[in-house]
Amino acid sequence: MAGIGLDIGSTASKGVLILEDNQQYREILATGWSPREAAAGLVEKLLDNAGINRNDVERIYATGYGRIAISQADKTITEIKCHAKGVSQLLPEVRTIIDIGGQDSKVIRVNQYGQVIDFAMNDKCAAGTGRFLQVTATALGMDVSELALAEDRSQMVSVNSMCTVFAESEIIGLIAGGTSRTGVIAGLHQSVGKRVAAMARRLGVKDKVAFTGGVAINQGVRRVLSEELGCEIIVPEMCQFTGALGAALLAMEM
């Protein structure tokens, strides 16, 4: 028996396959224009990696913003529940999860059983999400994966625009005015980290705190969150896969 969890995100689609002996396989693909094709691609790759057939998979559970657009899943589950499940399995000591993805950010409080106690979510505004960093990285002629290593906090300038489109213009203006790119990048990290930390404080932060989602790969944002919240921030090695892992674990539990 095997179970698959798919997290069809705004930017990236993630999949985790778990076999009965708990062996795990994972895959990530750009979601692109078609969540359906991304899901099909993930399932094919996961089956290939595990050397099994579709018939060997008991259940496929899906989460993420594109979950309703796909036909492969036996059931869809909210991202909040899946992230809580995935993180609690990897890090049972965690009580607060901060997830920053491509188009939303969320803070989730969990108990010792991995059950959701409360959560807060920003899915209205791109500021404080991975999209903000992607758009502004492009304005700086960089890929989002290059930002963290390129920041220089000693030259940090504030990026004050609340809106991603205005922030892009602000950055172009700052660079044209002679501000260093490395200082602007530090300002971008500060902007995202502060915004999400404020949401976390409103909900209430309890140790220990985990940081997940694609933006958790960015050490600059991680540092700002740690400073703002005054605590250590744990980033699991599979930080971008915790939603898919949670979905796969729930599929196996059934």
**214 scored as a contact of ligand ADP (CB under 6 A):** yes
**DSSP for residue 146:** G
Tell me how far CA of residue 65 lies from CA of 91, 134, 169, 196, in angstroms. 24, 18, 28, 20
Interface with ligand ADP (CB under 6 A), residue from 106, 131, 195, 223: 131
For the chain, what's the residue count? 254
Smallest separation (angstroms) from ligand ADP to the CB of 208:
20
**11 scored as a contact of ligand ADP (CB under 6 A):** yes
**130 scored as a contact of ligand ADP (CB under 6 A):** yes
Mark out the alpha helices in the chain (DSSP H runs): 35-50, 79-90, 130-139, 147-150, 164-176, 181-203, 219-229, 242-253
**218 scored as a contact of ligand ADP (CB under 6 A):** yes
**224 scored as a contact of ligand ADP (CB under 6 A):** no
Residues 6+ apart with CB under 8 A from 25: 16, 17, 46, 49, 50
Determine the Cα–Cα distance for residues 99 and 174; give it in Å rounded to an integer: 29
**5 scored as a contact of ligand ADP (CB under 6 A):** no
Which listed range, 126-134, 162-170, 180-188, 196-204, lies at the site for ligand ADP (CB under 6 A)? 126-134
Smallest separation (angstroms) from ligand ADP to the CB of 35:
10
Interface with ligand ADP (CB under 6 A), residue from 139, 240, 244, 248: 240
Residues 66-105 interacting with ligand ADP (rule: CB under 6 A): 101-103
